[in-house]
Amino acid sequence: MLNYIWFGMMFIGVVAGIFTGRIDEVTEAAIDMSKVAVQISIGLIGIMALWLGIMKIAEKSGLIQIIARGLKPITIRLFPDVPADHPAMGSIILNMSANMLGLGNAATPLGLKAMEELQELNPKKDTATNAMVMFLAINTSSVQLIVPATVVALMGVAASQIFITTILATLCSTITAVFMVKFLEKRKRFSVENAS
Amino acid sequence: MIESIVGSLNAGAKYIIPLLLVGIPFYALSVKKVKVYEVFVEGAKDGFTIAVRIIPYLVAILVAVGMFRASGALDLLLNFLAPVLNLIGFPPENLPLALMRPLSGSGSLGLLTDVVNEHGADSIYSKIGATMFGSSETTFYVLAVYFGSIGVTRSRHALVAGLTADMVGALAAVFFCKLLLG
Q: pLDDT tens digits, residue range A61-89?
A: 988 888 778 888 888 899 999 998 888 98
pLDDT(A196) > 80: no
Does any CB of chain A come closer than 8 Å to the CB of residue B124? no
Quote the mean pLDDT of chain A.
88
- Residue A21 to residue A168: CA distance in whole angstroms: 41
Give contacts of B49 with chain A, Cβ < 8 Å.
Answer: none
Give contacts of B34 with chain A, Cβ < 8 Å.
Answer: 57, 60-61
pLDDT(B102) > 70: yes
More confident residue, A176 or B76: A176
Verify whether the Cβ–Cβ distance A29 to B67 is below 8 Å. yes
- Residue B42 to residue B35: CA distance in whole angstroms: 11
> Minimal Cα–Cα distance from B95 to chain A, Å?
16
> Minimal Cα–Cα distance from A38 to chain B, Å?
6
Does any CB of chain A come closer than 8 Å to the CB of residue B22? no
How high is the ipTM of this complex?
0.86
Residues 6+ apart with CB under 8 A from B141: B58, B61, B62, B104, B105
Among A15-19, A136-140, B44-48, name the one with the lowest average pLDDT. Answer: B44-48
Confidence of residue A111 (pLDDT cuts 50, 70, 90): very high
- Report whether A100 contacts A84 (CB < 8 A): no
Confidence of residue B3 (pLDDT cuts 50, 70, 90): low
For residue A113, give the nearest of A43, A56, A45, A69 by alpha carbon: A56
Q: Quick: pLDDT tens for A124-134.
A: 999 999 999 99
